[in-house]
Structure 1
Amino acid sequence: MWQKVRDTLDPQKSLKSTLRFWFMLFALIPLLVIVGYSAYLFNQRMNQELVKRLNALEEGITIELTDVEEKLRLGGIRHANDYYLMNLVRSQKKAVLESVTQSIIENYITDRISFFNAKGKLITSILPKRIANNPEIILPEDPSLLSKVILESLSEKRQIVMKTAHPNIGFSFDCYTSMRLGGKFIGVIKETIVVDRYYSLSTKERTGLEICILNKEYQLLTSTLSPEQEKIFYTPSQHKKIVSIHLQDESFLMLTKPFLDDDEKPQGYLAILVSQANTQSTLKEIKIIFALICIVIMIVVIFFSQIASQTVLNPIDQLLKAIQDMEKGKNHPLVHVPPMQEIATLIHSFNTMASSLKTTQTQLVHSSKMTSLGQLVAGVAHELNNPIGYTHSNIHHLKDYLEKLKNMIQTYEEMISKLPKPQQTKIQDTKNELNIDFILKDIDSIIQSSLDGTQRTKDIVLSLRNFSRLDEAEMKEVDIHEGLESTLRLLSSEFKNRITLHKNYGTLPKLMCYPSQINQVFMNILSNSTQAIEGPGDIWITTHADPEQITIAIQDSGKGIKPEHVERIFDPFFTTKKVGQGTGLGLSISYGIIQKHHGEIKVESTVGKGSIFTIILPLIKKVLI
């Protein structure tokens, strides 16, 4: 049998079967790994969600019990300071004391209020009607006499709270407060709240989780579990905060929260259990779905591998025969597909042809592509160059015409004084209404910005032309400040009435570089800075020169970059902007341009304060490639 399989998979006897087998193998193994790993991750994620749910509930219960204890303490102090109650305790008027206390406890959170005299002897205990009339609610019995430990503690402290475990009941919070009249110890008021099965059931109704109350030896006192689960309840030997336990064919994650006394020592525990049944059921369903998907994919792989073996190998056979016929001078002969040794024959024929055709064919194809691409780019550059040239030239003429008009306006203004007063007033009002003074001041910068914009466009067109005629691309010695000022003029609409520019220019020598590319870097960084400043803000531009390099620092008061994003800021296609607002290429291109100039670009950023981009360009004239 194995010999048959080996023969089937032997490429010399059946290339199609071999390809089909390995195709299925390489398709299914990654799929099975992905399925298994996905199921594992799902189980981990579901457990993490359950743990989050447990932690959230623990936090809520902690707040709730802390609030209850605080109210218990405050109520104890308030009642112990009640002058009327103190007189009743001192005189030990039991009937009146019970009547007054009954009216207090009905509107209070405690489950019982007890009074003891100065010697610790019980005077009376009062229950609210909700407990007294419900025989199912059981409270721990009050001692007839307080212990010496409690009395001694109350002689040193005004109040103590004790948390005590009670089998089949739960935990009691007992607040003992000493009552003093005129500085003299006259008795003790004890207020009790019980965390029992009813508290656990109400918590379960709110959260859907099981609640257990344990003593400090982790023994079960009461719970919301079924009687069968209570009988087999256990805690693992390693008492961790969150553990997994198994009760009667059901798995739980259990979180234990300690009840701490005033000395921060645990007196018992509140256990919160969340069932993993839904998680396991969902995981089982997912595994079944993944298994069905694997079966379907296996069938699809078998089907397509059969098609692929016929679709791919048959053309290869025909190509092989065609190559052999081409060597003999035949055109498109009908061929018979040989059953064996396909790859060996194909490689032999390919090598025979490749030695004579590969180099020539590659050169011809490459030359044809570059010629077509060069013609296309040169045509586009030519079509753009003419209208841009007209526009640039016309703006120069417009600038000259405007100078003449300004001279004419100046002459008119000199002649205004010779006109009658009403006409002078009317001309001045019209001048103020049209804001002529501002227009005359602003028109020069507008014309200059237009010239800069058309010059920038001409530079782009020149770059396209250089692309089609690479031997004409060259570097220039330029003034970096001129490039910065040109960029700032193009971005002036972004700064106006919103961003204040602070220029701290040093004395810089001219730099040998590709000026349009350096200006593109300035444009990208300054544009990002303006976008990072959401309201009014500032941008500082600082330049200085060392013997070997020029440094340009651009700082903004924007929202800054998160630390985890700083390391990726120059990665291609990385952007923190919304979809459609950025490509993630600006800073990546800028980084490449600076690297091409053998320079360095760095960024420092603090969230909420802004960013500083520092560009360092060497003055040593290296060959730029």
Structure 2
Amino acid sequence: MSLRLKTILGVAFIEAILLVILISMTLNYLESTNYDGLYKRATTTATLFSTTTKDAVISYDLASLDDYTNELMKNPDLVYVKVLTPEGDVFAQSGDEVLLKRPFNEDQDVSSVTDGVFDIRTEIEEGGQVFGIIELGIDTSTLSQSIKEARYWSATIAFGEMLLVALFSFLLGTYLTNRLGQLREAANQISLGNTNITIPITGNDEVAEVADAFNQMTSRLTEAVERRDAYEKELKQLNQTLESRVERRTLQLEKNIKKLESTNKQLQETHEQLIQSEKMASIGTLAAGVAHEINNPVGYVMSNMRTLKEYSQTYIDAIDKTKQLIDQETGDLNEPIKDLNRWFREQDIDFIQTDIPQLITDTIDGTERIRDIVAGLKEFSHSNPSQVMQLSNLNEAIEKTLKITHNELKYKVKVETKLGNIPKVKCNIGQIQQVLLNLLINAGHALKENGRIQIISGVIEKEVFISVQDNGTGIPKDIQEKIFDPFFTTKEVGTGSGLGLSITYGIMQDHKGRVELKSVLGKGSKFTLYFPSEVE
């Protein structure tokens, strides 16, 4: 369907709808107004006539009633009138004989009249008593003819208006389609590559503005095509040397990648060395306490060995005396046996027999304590930071770390542990022990006498956590965001490197976990380590 036909049909359709609405509203208003006027006229006439004839009806003045009815019939469109007794007998009547003889059927409204006469009645009353009845009819044919003519002329005017609108739409559509045809032809030429085209501009309307804009577009397209041709020519020249430049760039990128790999390897080695250095520094911090922890069992082991040496000499002497007694073949043995028993009592042999098992047990416990301390230090100091992560029990890491720090903390801190039933976590257990050691040493430094450290492990949602909480001095709020920065420390010069918490933060990042701090100045600090609990 063409644009011109669409324009004609569209405008005609809209115009038809508007005309139908307008004519319907006008005719409805015309009918209702005329019908209401006729109804009011009929009721007024009947009411006035009943008032006029009341006295004549009451007095049975039939001559006057005939005059009144004849006089009333002079009103235009009035076709008949009757004055009746309450029983229906005729006092007086006038008008069309046919209408006077037909049965009377009162009409309720003018629009429902089908016989061309609007019939109405009213009663003649006095003091609440009915003395007579008025019946009259008004011709509605004139009114109906007027309404019919109004409808005819409305339809004629509407049809004429639609023809004029269709003609105007046809002319407008023809004008627009001609101009659009020019634009379409010009667009086809442009699609074929011909940008040197101009549309003639006539008039000052919007179509002329579109044509002007189209001409400007073709001008810019021509310029763009010229620039594109120039760029293509330049691109061809660049492509001739592109391959050699790509090769040079590739070689440069390979060199840069190797350099980055080397730098990354150096950074990794430096990071591992830094972790190991911090680990050895932590061991250095614990060295005096570890030495004291080893010296205690060494001391009572040596003391026990000296005592056992004395006891062994007593046993040697007792064996020698017993052999001498056995070797004596003749003579009275009672006196030598009495001497031997007296010597046993002097040596307190019963005490020696009860003391030796306890001395041996204490010695074994002391050597095992030394073995555990040395094994823990060996395991901690020689763990490889770059070892492959594996499933490990974090509770065991806590217990091993507490053994290393036992002597450092036992004289001033009470350590409480609440280790939950947690799944194994994929981690570098040596690095996790270093993290725990850093947190415990820091907590110990923040505590005075009778301090308390609480270590808790458990599971929250999909994370395994370890919390280390102390009731020490706490950390000021203004520096809490800085404590994980490298080389940041609040300790005196020479007592801290400022790398412990930074390394802790880095290790937790490597484990895809996190570390959180909650601290209140004067009440203590709580560090919580979170690990993903998914295991492979």
TM-score range, shorter chain: 0.3 to 0.5
Higher strand share: 1
TM-score for both structures, normalised by structure 1: 0.32
TM-score for both structures, normalised by structure 2: 0.37
